[in-house]
């Protein structure tokens, strides 16, 4: 092998039908192009993950998107707990309930995926 040659490894690509469009995602469903996000994307991805969206899901998704827009980074779970403990009360706005709402990796994985945000550090 030539020392100057560096192989390019591309992560697996999946396509998700959103309306009449095919949206490119990675192997876990994270958008490859963040500009492809839409509420229709959320509905299609949630269907693909077997998740029935509720008002709580939408509140979390909107919070994640707004937090990212304001801070330039994904919200940590403790920021979500702080926000939703105030919004929903401590019996609903806790870590356990947030993970029940997003059972496939919790709000930092499944929530960020549906919110059209990037994988968090350390995800494979």
- State pLDDT tens for residues 2-29: 556 666 555 688 889 998 899 999 988 9
Dihedral pair phi/psi, residue 91, rounded to 5°? -75, -20
Q: How many C-beta atoms lie closer than 10 Å to residue 33's C-beta?
A: 10
Residue 33: which domain range?
A: 13-114
Does residue 4 belong to any structural domain of this protein? no
Q: Is the pLDDT of residue 46 over 60?
A: yes
Q: Is the pLDDT of residue 115 over 60?
A: yes
Q: Which two tokens stand for residue 87?
A: 């919004």
3-state secondary structure string across the chain: CCCCCCCCCCCCEEEEEECCEEEEEECCCCECCHHHCCHHHHHHHHHHCCCCCCHHHHHHHHHHHHHHHHHCCCCCHHHHHHHHHHHHCCCCCCHHHHHHHCCCCHHHHHHHHHCCCCCCCCCC
Does residue 2 belong to any structural domain of this protein? no
Q: What total of structural domains would you count in the chain?
A: 1
**Overall average pLDDT of the 81-105 stretch:** 96
Does residue 120 belong to any structural domain of this protein? no
- Tell me the CA end-to-end span of the chain in Å, nearest whole number: 28
Share of the chain above pLDDT 70, in %: 87
Does residue 121 belong to any structural domain of this protein? no
Does residue 8 belong to any structural domain of this protein? no
Q: Which residues pair with 15 in a beta bridge?
A: 24
């Amino acid at each position: 092998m030539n020392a100057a040659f560096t192989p390019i490894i591309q992560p697996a690509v999946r396509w998700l039908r959103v309306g009449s469009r095919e949206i490119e995602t990675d192997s876990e469903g994270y958008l490859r192009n963040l500009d492809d996000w839409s509420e229709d994307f959320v509905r299609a991805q949630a269907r693909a993950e077997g998740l029935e969206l509720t008002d709580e899901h939408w509140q979390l998704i909107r919070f994640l998107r707004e937090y990212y827009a304001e801070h330039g980074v994904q919200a940590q779970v403790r920021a979500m707990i702080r926000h939703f403990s105030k919004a929903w009360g401590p019996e609903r706005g806790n870590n356990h309930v947030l993970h029940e709402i997003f059972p496939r990796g919790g709000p930092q994985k499944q929530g960020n995926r549906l919110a059209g945000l990037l994988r968090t550090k350390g995800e494979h």
